[in-house]
Amino acid sequence: MIVIDNIIVSDEIRDIRFCCHLEKCLGACCIEGDAGAPIEEEEISNLEDDIEQIKPYMQMDGIEVVDKMGVFDYDITGEYVTPLIQNRDCAFVYYENNIARCAIEKAYEEGKIDFQKPISCHLYPIRISMHKDFEAVNYHKWHICEPARTFGREIGLPLYKFLKNPLIRKYGREWYEKLVKEIEG
């Protein structure tokens, strides 16, 4: 494990080769699983503030879910998550060429909002777990990401480099540079 400023990073973040391959997985992480994507409390207000700018990119089913439930739900542990359409697709998903994509991110890319998407989505397949005295940064291995692991091995891209921007977004550039220095010496 690697420790940077009370943040414990799994060795897998260094060792796994990974690069999303949407043409192969079709954005399955947005439509698979037993709950919506984890969201932080402060992200709820971002979504509430921006929902009218996000809706034009959403599917009608997703809009109906958000209109009925709001921009968040709870998982079985009581944590905040994005709501789901019929217990499957994230309410914020839309499809482009049969690939599941994020309406929040699309609104961000088009300059409609300043919030990119939930950090848990941006960091995936990294999952953060909070503990009393530290945070743990772990790799979440899921079969749907096998194309990303294969592609990452083919091009030799380590997970920590693939997720450079979201790691900087979460922990800051200085922290990321410490991580790189610890990994690369």
Average confidence (pLDDT) over 149-169: 96
Structure pTM?
A: 0.89
Mean pLDDT across the chain, nearest whole number? 93
Q: Which string of DSSP letters, residue by residue, matches the chain?
A: -EEETTEEE-HHHHH-B----HHHHTTGGGT-SSS--B--HHHHHHHHHHHHHHGGGS-HHHHHHHHHH-S-EE-TTS-EE--EETTTEETTEEEETTEEEEHHHHHHHTTS-S--S-HHHHHTTEEEEE-SS-EEEEE---GGGHHHHHHHHHHT-BHHHHTHHHHHHHH-HHHHHHHHHHHH-
Q: Are 108 and 131 in the same domain?
A: no
- Record the tokens describing residue 115, joined without a space: 């919030």
Residue 25 located in a structural domain: no
The domain containing residue 48 runs over which residues?
Answer: 36-114
Q: Are 79 and 136 in the same domain?
A: no
Residue 134 located in a structural domain: yes
Q: What is the pLDDT of residues 55-97, one digit of tens each?
A: 999 999 999 999 999 999 999 999 999 999 988 899 999 999 9
Last residue of a domain, one of 114, 149, 164: 114
Report the percent of the chain where pLDDT is more than 70.
Answer: 100
Average confidence (pLDDT) over 95-111: 95
Tell me, what's the pLDDT at 87? 84
Residue 89 located in a structural domain: yes
Last residue of a domain, one of 80, 114, 148: 114
Q: Are 64 and 86 in the same domain?
A: yes
Q: Are 41 and 2 in the same domain?
A: no
Residue 77 located in a structural domain: yes
Q: Are 107 and 129 in the same domain?
A: no
Number of structural domains (the chain) is: 2
Tell me, what's the pLDDT at 58? 97
Last residue of a domain, one of 85, 114, 143: 114
Residue 144 located in a structural domain: yes
How sure is the predictor about 23, in pLDDT bands with cuts at 50, 70 and 90? confident
